[in-house]
Structure 1
C-alpha cells in the first residue's frame, strides 16, 4: 500500500468530521463566489441600467419626474400597463444626456453644439439632447437605490455566511488533523513497544525520536494545512470554472488550459522535491541521533577533550542538511510565485485578446458588469492555484515523513500478550542451544545445562564469552537458532514473551531509572505493586540504610536516568524493582560490578534470604561474590568449558582457578 493511501486510511478514521468540514467548505465557497454575480447585476441592471429604454408613464413609486413629465424604465412596467413615448438616458464620456426619442442605431457617441452625434460606419445620426445636471441624474437613479441596497444586503449576508462556514470548516479540519496525529503517534509509540530488542541494536534512539516527533509533525502539517488548502482550492477552482462557464463558455474553455499546465508543473516539482526531502529528513534524524548521543556522552567528550572533533562531525551533518534545504528553497522559489505569475499573465493576455476581438464585432455587446465579473473571477482563480503551489513543499515533506514513519511501523513486531500462567517453579534447561546475533555467526555454541528450582547458577568468563547472551535468550530478548530452552518443561518459544517474563526479574549491569520517584521506579506504576511491597523490597535489599537520610524518603524525585543518585543507589533501586515483582527466576547481569564494596556487602547480605525459593542466575566479574553458587558455568568463546561448584573448580585448577587467582592477586596488590 502506498504512503498516500495509508495516510488517507488514517483520515478515514475521522471521515464524519472531515465530510462535515467539506460540506461547510462547499457552502462557504458557493456563498463567497456569488459576490461577482451580484456585482454584475448591480452594475449592468442598476448602475448602467439607466441607459435602457424609458417610457412616459403615470406617477408611481418607480417613476421619475423630469420637466413636468413622469418616466419609467421598461422593466418596471407590469403586464397590461400602457407605455407612452420612449426616451433614452445615454452616457457620452463623463456626461449623461436626455434624448426624447428612440435611437435609429447605436455606435460612436459625441456631443457637438448641444446635439448628440452617433456614427456607425458610413451612417451618421444627429439628435437634439439635453445634458443632465447632477441632481437631475440622481433622480433617474432613485428607483434603483432600493434594489441596489437590497443586493448589497444580500451580498453582505452571503459574506457573513461564508465567514461562519469558513471558520467551521477550518476548525473541523484542524480538529480532525490533530486527532489523526494523536492516533498516529499513539500507534507508533505502541508499535515501538512491540518491536524486538534487536531492532534497537541497529537504530539510534535519536532517529526513533525524530520519527515520532519531527516526522509526525510534518504529517500533521499535511492534514492541518496541505489537505485543507487542497480541498479549499479544488472546490474554489471548480466553483470558479462553473461561474465562468455560466458567464461565457468560450473564455472559460480558454481558462481550462491552466489545469494541464498546473498538473505538469506539479509532476516536475515532485520529482526533485521528493529526492531533496528524503535527504533532509534523513539528515535531520542523523542530527537528532548525534545530539542525543553527545548529550549522553558529554562526560566522556569533555574528559577526553573531543569537543572540537564532535563539533566537526556535527557540522558535517549540519552542512549537508543546509545544502539540501537550499536546493529545496531554490526549487520552491522557481515554482511558486513565478509559476502563478506566468499563468496569470497568460490568462490575462488571452482575456484581453478575446474581449478586444469581441468588442470589434457590432453584434457582440459586452457589458461592463460582465467584464468586472470576469476580471474578479480570474483574480480569484489564481488565489487557490497560488495556495496549491505554495503547499507543494509541505506535501512532499509530509509524504517523505509518512514514508519513514510507515517504514518503522512495518517492522515486524509482536502483540503484547495479557495471557498469564501460574508462577514458575524455576526449573530451567538449556538443551544444545546455539545462537548468533547475525545469521551464521554463532556467539553461543551447543550450550547445555540445567538449573533446578531454588538453585543459584553463576556464569563467568572473559568479555565476549557469551554470558549476557545466555541471559538475553532466557529473558527472550532474542530467540535461539538451534536447540531449545525450557522452563518447568515448557519450551519458552511456545509461550508469549510477556507471559514468560511475568515471573522473571532482571537487574542489568547499567541500571535504568525513569523520571519520577524512588518508589515509582520500584513499582513502575504497576497497580499490583502496593506501597507496602515497594517498601519491603527496598528494605530487603538494604536500601532503607542508604536512603534513610533523604529529605523525602522513598518519594525523593528521580530525574532522567537517576543522574543525581550514585551508581550504588541506582543499582539498589533496580534490584528492589526486580524483587518487588516476586520473580520465580531472578537474573543479575553483572549487578554488582558498578557498586562499591560497602553497598555490595548490603546486597550480598540480603541475597542469602532472597534466593530461597527462586532460581537465580548471576553474571559476575567479581568471582568472590559467587563462591556460594550451587553451579558455576565457565564460558569461553561461546562454549561451556568448565562447570561445578567453587570448590570443585578450584580443585580442578583449570580456567576458573586461573581467573580466581588473577583476581585475588590483583586484590592483594591493590591492598
Structure 2
C-alpha cells in the first residue's frame, strides 16, 4: 500500500533533518525570547509603576537609592527595607480617582477611600470603615515616589530590547534555513519529476497531452513550492508560537489558560471540514488547469491549421468552456475561504475574550483572587498574540489544500511504471537486425504487425515501403524499444533485444525523422546535443560531409549561429541536413531514416540523397521510404500491407515481379500525388 500524500510530503520535508533541527531550535529560541515581553511588561507595571501603591515606611536616614526625601522625612518601600534600617512610622501610598494620598496607617491596598479634609480620609475595606490621617501628594511631589523606579524600568526595557534583537537574529537564521531547505526540496522534487518523465514508456506520452504533463512539472510543483516555502513555515512557526503562548498563559493563570485551550479543538474540527470540501474543489481546479494548458499548447502548435481552416471560433469556444469551469470552481473556493478565514478567527477571538471577561468580572474582585494590572495587561497581550499565528494559519489553508492536491497529482506521475535505466556501455554492435515472427498491437488484439520476419545484414541498406497504416513506423518503434512486441523476438547481432536495457539498445542506433527537431541553442549544439564525447571538429566535419556547410558558412556566426525554437529560420531541407549531420556525428552502427525525404523539394532531394549515401557508408541503414526514387539502390526493399510482408527484394527484382511495388513505382513515375498514393 502506497503512503498517503501527507506522509510523502513529510518525507521530502525531512530529507535534511539536520537543517530542520537547527531551524526549529532557532525558532524556539526566538519565540521564547520574544514572548518574554509581556512578562517584562507585567514586572514593570506591577513592581515599578502600580507597585508604588504599597506600604511605605519612614526611616532615619537616606542610606541607598531606594530611599526618597519627602517633606523632611526619609521614606522607603517596605518591600525594600534592609536589615539595618530603623523604621519610625508606617504609611500606605494609594491612589483614589486621579489623586494620590499618603495615609498615616497600614491599610489594605484594595480599600476605597473618601476625602474628609486635607488631613484625613475615610477608608472602607473588608475590615469596616474608619477615618485615618492622610496627606494629599501634590503632582510636583509625585515624581519623588517614582524616582527609585526609573533605573529598574530602564534596565528592564534595555533587557527587553536586547532580547528582541537576539530573537531577530534567530528569526533570520530560522527563516533563511527553512527557505533554503524548502527551495532545495522543490529542486529535488522537480529533478525527480523530470527524471521520471524521461523514464516513462512511450505509450504514456501517446495517452497524455503534452500540456498536462507540463502542468505537473511546472504548475503543480510550483504550488508545492508554496507549501514548503510559505505554508509549512507558517504552520511550524504558528504551532511553536502558540505553544509558547499557551505555556506563558499557564504560568500566568491556569484557569484562564484552560479557557483558551478549549478553542484549539474548534480549529482542528474546522480544518477537517475545510480539507473535505477544499480538496474536492482543488482537484477539479488543478485538473481543469492542466486541460487549459493542454488546449493552449495544442492551439499554439496547430495555429496555422486553425487559421487556415477558419476554426478560431470553435477553438475559442472550447477554451471558454474550460475557462468557465475553472472560474466556477475557483468561485466555490473563494466562497469557502471567505467564510472561514477572518470570520472564523474573529469568532474564536470573540469567544476567548468573552470567557476572559466573564472570568475576570465574576471572580477577580474577590480578595482571594485579585488580578493585578500587570497580570491583566500580560494576559490580554498574550491573548492578542495568540490569534496572530491562528489567523495566518487559517489564511494559509487554501494554499495548503491546493498544494496537497497538486502533490497528489505529482506523486501520481511519480508512481507511473517506468523503464529500467541502465546506461552501462556495451561493445559496438555490427548492425545485424532480425525480426523473428514479430506481432505487435498498440491496443489489445488490434495487431498492427502480424508475423513479420526479415533479416538485415551488417552494412546493408534496407527500405520499407507501403501505404499509410501498413506498419512501417511500428517496425522502427519496436527496433528502438519504444514498445515491445506481444509475440516474436527482435534480435540485434543475434542477441534478443529484450535481454538488453532500452538504453543499451539505443546506444548504437541513430534516427533521422521526417520532421527533424531543432533545439534552441546554436548550430553546433544541435549537432553534438552537448555530448562531451563529440568534439567541435567532429561536428563541423559531419556538417561538411552532408553539405550543410554551404548555407551555414553564410551565416553571421557560422557554426556558432544562435538557433531559435524549432529552427524556424532554416528551410525544411536545411533542417533535414542538420539532422543528417547529427546522426553522422554520433556515428551509430544502425541508422533509421523515418521518411526523411518526404517533405523535401526536388531541388534539395539531390543534396539529401548525397547525404544519405555518406551516412550509409560502414553502417546498417533502415529506411522508411516515401519517395521510391531515393531507395532504388537499397540492398533490400520490403513491401508491407496491413502489417504483413507481401514482397521482398531489390528494386530491379520487385519491378520484374510486377507486384505492388511495381504499381507504386509506376504511379510515382506517372507524376501522381505521393500523398494520395502513400
Structure 1 position 108, deviation (Å): 2.8
Q: Give the Cα separation in 2 of the matches to 1:79 and 1:298.
A: 97
Question: Is the aligned partner of 1:59 residue 2:53?
Answer: no
Of 578, 583, 586 in structure 2, the residue corresponding to residue 573 of structure 1 is: 578
2:534 paired residue among 513, 526, 529: 529
Q: Equivalent residue for 2:21?
A: 19
1:90 aligned partner: 94
CA contact (8 A) 1:426 1:584 kept: yes
Would the alpha carbon gap of residues 369 and 542 (structure 1) be closer, same or farther in structure 2, given more than 3 Å must change?
Answer: same
The equivalent residue for 2:168 is 163
Q: How does 1:170-569 map to 2 (within 5 A)?
A: 170-569=175-574
Query: 1:160-201, CA deviations, whole angstroms, 9 ceiling, x for partnerless residues?
Result: 112221122111111111111111111211221111222111
Q: What residue number does 1:100 align with?
A: 104
The separation in 1 between residues aligned to 2:550 and 2:287, in whole angstroms, is 49
- More deviation in 66-75 or 122-131? 122-131
Corresponding residue number in structure 1 for 2:115: 111
Contact preservation (8 Å) 1:14, 1:180? no
Tell me, yes or no, if the aligned pair for 2:216 and 2:410 is still in contact at 8 Å: yes
Q: Which sits farther off after the overlay, 209-218 or 458-467?
A: 209-218
1:201 and 1:212 map into 2 onto residues whose CA distance is: 17
TM-score (norm 1): 0.97
SS in 1 for 2:121: strand
Q: CA deviation at 1:121?
A: 6.5
Q: Distance in 1 between matches of 2:35 and 2:224?
A: 31
Instruction: Report the alpha carbon displacement of residue 669 of structure 1 after superposing the two structures with TM.
Output: 12
Output the CA distance in 2 between the equivalents of 1:214 and 1:44: 55
Alpha-carbon separation, structure 1, partners of 2:108 and 2:413: 81
Distance 2:580 2:673 in 1: 30
Aligned partners of 1:106 and 1:118 also within 8 Å: no
Determine if contact 2:53/2:109 at 8 Å carries over to the other structure.
no
Deviation at 1:666, TM superposition (A): 2.5
From 601, 606, 611, give the equivalent of 1:606: 611
Going from structure 1 to structure 2, the CA distance change for 1:668 and 1:289 (only over 3 Å counts) comes to closer
Distance 1:609 1:358, change over 3 A: closer
Q: Secondary structure at the match of 2:367?
A: coil
Give the unaligned 5+ runs of structure 1.
none
**Structure 2 CA distance, aligned partners of 1:585 and 1:185?**
34
How many Å apart are 1:82 and its aligned residue? 3.5
Is the CA contact (8 Å cut-off) linking 1:453 and 1:615 kept in structure 2? yes
Is the CA contact 1:54–1:74 (under 8 Å) kept in the aligned structure 2? yes
CA contact 1:456–1:616 (8 Å) conserved in 2:
yes
The equivalent position to 2:11 in structure 1, one of 9, 21, 28, is 9
Structure 1 residue 667: deviation in Å?
5.0
Structure 2 stretches lacking a partner, 5+ long: none
Please list every run of at least 4 consecutive aligned residues from structure 1 whose deviation after the TM superposition is greater than 6 angstroms. none
SS class of match (1:437): strand
Aligned length: 670
Which residue number in structure 1 is paired with residue 81 of structure 2?
77
Distance 1:248 1:106, change over 3 A: closer
Q: How has the CA–CA distance of structure 1 residues 106 and 171 changed in structure 2, closer, same or farther, with 3 Å as cutoff?
A: closer
CA deviation digits over 1:541-574, x for unaligned, max 9? 2222343422322222211111111111111111
The residue that corresponds to 1:135 in the other structure is 140
Contact 2:580 2:611 in 1 (8 A): no
* 1:223-275 Cα distance to aligned partner (Å, 9 max, x none): 11111111111111111111111111111111111110000010001111111
Residue 51 of structure 1 deviates from its aligned partner by 1.3
- CA distances 1:260-301 after superposition (whole Å, capped 9, x unpaired): 000001000111111111111111111111111111111112
Q: CA deviation at 1:10?
A: 1.5
Counterpart of 2:649 in structure 1 is 644
SS of residue paired to 1:111: strand
Q: Cα distance, 1:384 vs. partner?
A: 1.0
Q: State how far apart, in whole Å, the 2-side matches of 1:569 and 1:669 are.
A: 22
Per-residue displacement from partner, 1:410-447 (whole Å, max 9, x unpaired)? 11223432211221111110001011112222111111
Deviation, 1:364, is: 2.2
SS in 2 for 1:436: strand
Deviations 1:588-624 (A, max 9, x none): 0000001111221112123334323211111012112
Which residue of 32, 35, 45 corresponds with 1:33? Answer: 35
- State the TM-score, normalizing by the size of structure 2: 0.96
Question: For residues 594 and 100 of structure 2, what CA distance do their matches in structure 1 show?
Answer: 102
Q: Distance in 2 between matches of 1:669 and 1:103?
A: 115
2: CA distance between counterparts of 1:669 and 1:86? 120
Most deviating of 552-561 and 359-368: 359-368
Please give the alpha-carbon distance, in whole angstroms, between the structure 1 residues aligned to 2:502 and 2:392: 51
Once the two structures are TM-superposed, the CA of residue 80 in structure 1 deviates from its matched residue by 5.2
**Relative to structure 2, which stretch is displaced further, 301-310 or 237-246?**
301-310
The 8 Å contact of residues 443 and 466 in structure 1, kept in 2 or not, is answered as: yes
SS at match of 1:421: coil
CA distance in 2, matches of 1:650, 1:618: 19
Distance 1:167 1:236 in 2: 16
Equivalent-residue separation in structure 1 for 2:655 and 2:536 (angstroms): 44
Moved more, 168-177 or 346-355: 168-177
- CA RMSD across the alignment: 1.7
SS, match of residue 527 in structure 1: coil
Q: Distance in 2 between matches of 1:51 and 1:606?
A: 104
Q: Is the Cα–Cα contact under 8 Å of residues 546 and 614 in structure 2 kept in the other structure? A: no
Mean alpha-carbon deviation: is it higher for 84-93 or for 58-67? 58-67
Q: 218-227 or 357-366: which moved more?
A: 357-366
Partners of 1:149 and 1:436 lie apart in 2 by 86
